[in-house]
Amino acid sequence: MNPYPLYQLMGVPLDLALEVHEILSGEGEIPGVSLEKTTFEHGVISTIRVLDERGESAMGKPRGTYVTLESEALRTVDRTAHASLIAILSDTIKNMLDLPDTASVLCCGIGNPNVISDALGPMTANRLTATRSLFEIAPEMREGLREVSVIAPGVSGVTGIETAEILESLIDRIKPDCLICVDALAAGSLSRLSATIQLADTGIFPGSGVGSRRKPIDRQTMGVPVLALGVPTVVHAGVIVHQAMEILTGHLEEVSSSSQAYRDLQPPNIKTIIDRVLEPFDGHLTVTPKDVDEQIGNLVHIISGAITTALHSGVNPEHLKWLP
């Protein structure tokens, strides 16, 4: 069955444009949306473009470009594979930003540093080198470097201030030419946890992955181009329950026709079953892998390396080992 209506009923966030496309394309071509795929040694890169209002309506996502890098190597500690992923991700960032060498950039790590599944943004920010002060006090040392500022503003539950409000004020003050945001996302499939990186030139909605959608951080609200990088680190428990029921049904169909009863259920009926399973958590439970701390560490290494080499022409992959 097409799980999209069920996920909508359950309030399951589908942050990855690729997942939405895969679900909807099962029913035919999606008007106003294009998809291109290329393979490389360690995985696949998918580029989805939402071209017009028809695409926005179908996908439930704003017009723009969504690039998704999928690789099982993202979950491993294979530094050779990581070097290849850093190079590919770096080139993708350069192409999507298309900035002159003189353009300045503000990098923002979104999320809660005290919750490991939400700490991707702050941990990545900690690995980036801020050069803005260098441009002010030692201009002779800036060859091969770009003016970069870095911030990890925390979450509104701790600061009492929306991330978008902090960034609006900061951008008004330091006036960067571009904003890069890194955040944790929610997946609609277990297979994509920590194995997918999405880049979007449409910005980001902080908190959407855990059902706490905040003010958007995009070109319209910030006044500068926004590139969002995200990795799914959590999945709604209802997705796991549904996928388990689908697998069980498929297995039982091989030995009994009575299992067809589950496939004949409508989304509201399936939601009722899943809600009963998740009743102790009022139907809202997100799950993250046991070794998420190790996986986040790998992702921080790759994303911070890619951003650094994309922004600074004088930094090559060999230099990354000397960075914090």
Among 31-35, 179-183, 273-277, name the one with the lowest average pLDDT: 273-277
Helix (H, G, I), strand (E, B) or coil at 225: coil
Per-residue pLDDT reduced to its tens digit, 230-265: 999 998 888 888 777 777 777 666 666 555 555 667
Residue 321 pLDDT level (bands cut at 50, 70, 90): low
pLDDT value, residue 253: 67
* pLDDT band for position 116 (cuts 50, 70, 90): very high
pLDDT for 30 beyond 60: yes
Least confident of 19-33, 93-107, 135-149: 135-149
Question: Average pLDDT in the 291-306 region?
Answer: 94
Alpha carbons 221 and 168: distance in angstroms, whole number: 8
Q: Report the phi/psi class of residue 211: left, alpha or beta, with left for phi > 0 and alpha for psi in -120 to 50.
A: left
Question: Which residue carries 């297979």 as its tokens?
Answer: 191
pLDDT tens digits along 38-72:
999 999 999 999 999 999 999 999 999 999 999 99
Contact 278, 284 (CB under 8 A): yes
193-229 burial string, b = 16+ CB within 10 Å, else e?
bbbbbbbbbbbbbbbbbbeeebbbbbbeebebbbbbb
Q: What is the DSSP string of 269-319?
A: HHHHHHHHHTGGGTT--EE--TTHHHHHHHHHHHHHHHHHHHH-TT--GGG
Residue 201 banded pLDDT, cuts 50, 70, 90: very high
CATH architecture of 11-240+281-319: 3-Layer(aba) Sandwich (3.40)
- In this predicted structure, what is the pLDDT of residue 101? 87
pTM score > 0.75 for this model?
Answer: yes
Quote the pLDDT of residue 262. 59
Task: Estimate to the nearest angstrom the gap between the alpha carbon of 9 and the chain centroid.
Answer: 22
- Yes or no: say if 148 and 311 are a contact pair by the CB < 8 Å rule: yes
Angle of the 237-253 helix axis to the 267-277 helix axis, nearest 10: 110
**How is the chain split into domains, by residue range?**
11-240+281-319
The count of residues in the chain is: 324
**Which pLDDT does position 226 carry in this prediction?**
97
Is the pLDDT at 119 greater than 90, yes or no?
yes
99 pLDDT tier (thresholds 50, 70, 90): very high
Cα separation, 300 vs 74, whole angstroms: 10
DSSP-derived pairing of the beta strands 178-187 and 105-109 = parallel
For residues 237 and 287, the answer to whether their CB atoms sit within 8 Å is yes
Which pLDDT score is estimated for 121? Answer: 97
Average pLDDT, the chain: 87
pLDDT the model gives residue 14: 86
> Could you tell me what percent of the chain has a pLDDT over 70?
89
Tens of pLDDT, residues 153-165 = 998 888 999 999 9
Q: Would you state the torsion angle of the CA atoms of residues 239, 244, 247, 250, taken in this order, to the nearest 10 degrees?
A: -100
